[in-house]
């Protein structure tokens, strides 16, 4: 079964996403020094994407 054209185009385009994955938020917090090893990964602070 083939994939519909509209769905295929969305996955290939590589557009900027509005929502970050948990591991991406942890990376940003680590760079800022707001997250340390051993901290909980649930209930993370809100973050803006890197400029």
**The model's pTM:** 0.58
Residue 17 pLDDT exceeds 80 = no
DSSP 47: -
Q: Do the Cβ atoms of 26 and 44 come closer than 8 Å?
A: yes
Query: What is the spatial distance between Cα 44 and Cα 35, in angstroms, rounded to a whole number?
Result: 9
Query: C-alpha angle 8/17/12, rounded to 5°?
Result: 20
**pLDDT score at 46:** 84
Query: What is the spatial distance between Cα 39 and Cα 41, in angstroms, rounded to a whole number?
Result: 6
């Amino acid at each position: 079964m083939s994939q519909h054209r509209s769905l295929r185009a969305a996955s290939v385009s590589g557009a900027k996403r509005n929502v970050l994955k948990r591991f991406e938020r942890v990376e940003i917090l680590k760079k800022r020094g707001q997250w340390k090893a051993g901290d909980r990964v649930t209930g993370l602070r809100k973050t803006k994407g890197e400029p």
